[in-house]
Copies of this chain bind each other. A is one copy, B any other.
Amino acid sequence: MIRAETPGTERTPRVAAARKLLRRAGRDRAGRFLVEGAQAVREALAAGPVHELFVTEAAGARNPELVERARDRGVRVLAVTEKAAAALSETVTPQGLVAVCDLLDVPVATALAGAPGFVTVCAGIADPGNVGTVVRVADAAGCDAVLLAGDTVDPHNGKAVRASTGSLFHLPVARGRDAAAVVAACGAAGLTTLVADGRGEMDLHDPDTSRILAGPVAWILGNEAHGPGPEVFAAADHRVRIPIHGRAESLNLATAAAICLYATVGARAGVAPQLPPGAD
């Protein structure tokens, strides 16, 4: 089914070059990253430029329409052995289908253009699975953008891409090294900035918080162990705590993010009808 342009073995220079994209330094140097699996490759093809598609014989037989679509879009389709596909994979069961795509991130100013109403900021999230899950929840909740601030892990990391289950391709993602500057940019874009933090002075379910959530907001999620850092903590407009009613000490980052983002969805569904027509 697949007519490779170069004979596919794990020794080809194309595979060797693509392997460098498994590491952040390689991705940043090339401006490209790897996307594995039929579902993710489909999302990548729909979202933007794909440069190469490595396909094993078995994966090509399982996804002929996908290989055809890639070829139609001018993607260089390269037949590879199972061994080469495994060398491009970080998963236990390689999918046999790996695409080389342009990095997705845009400048912070671009992500915040157009009067956003709902933004998620990752400020120092270290675990790639968490970053991917936050992007997925932000997509589901209807966020306009996800900003990755400070030392947050690269969202193009394979584990982050997988955890996002395609959502990385659905909404603008931007990176900013200076986390406080990212928070300030959100404020300048008209967003009320809220840090999710167990020590927050506001309770997530306070009526005052619900009123804020009904307006334009940026939720800031900090590092799994240390929170968002003191400069972000101080720069945000409010610090909001999720109420803990039982004896749990805390929530994990992904569940806390989901609770905050969907409290926003709920506040917009619930608070708006309570306002009289014409009210602010």
A-B contact pairs, 7 of them (CB 8 A): A165-B248, A166-B247, A243-B265, A255-B258, A258-B258, A258-B259, A259-B259
A255-B254, A263-B266 known; A139+B205 contact, CB < 8 A:
no
**Size class of the contact patch on chain A:** 35 or more
* CB closest residue in chain B, given A163: B252
* CB closest residue in chain B, given A39: B249
CB of A136 closer than 8 Å to a CB of B: yes
On chain B, the residues within 8 Å of A137 by CB distance are 248, 251, 255
CB of A167 closer than 8 Å to a CB of B: yes
Asked whether B139 lies within 8 Å of A252 as measured between CB atoms, the reply is no
**A136-B248, A142-B246 given. 13 additional CB < 8 A pairs?**
A136-B255, A140-B245, A141-B245, A141-B246, A165-B249, A166-B249, A167-B246, A167-B248, A170-B246, A170-B248, A205-B265, A256-B258, A263-B266
* CB closest residue in chain B, given A260: B262
CB of A212 closer than 8 Å to a CB of B: no
On chain B, the residues within 8 Å of A251 by CB distance are 136-137, 140, 258
Most chain B CB atoms below 10 A, which of A133, A207, A245: A245
- A127, chain B: closest CB distance, angstroms: 13
A residues sitting closer than 8 Å to B (CB atoms) are 133, 136-143, 165-167, 170-171, 203-207, 210, 242-252, 254-259, 262-263, 265-266, 269-270, 273
On chain B, the residues within 8 Å of A247 by CB distance are 139, 166-167, 170-171
- A104, chain B: closest CB distance, angstroms: 14
- A115, chain B: closest CB distance, angstroms: 17
On chain B, the residues within 8 Å of A246 by CB distance are 138-143, 167, 170-171
On chain B, the residues within 8 Å of A266 by CB distance are 204-205, 263, 266
A133 to B253 Cα, complex, angstroms: 11
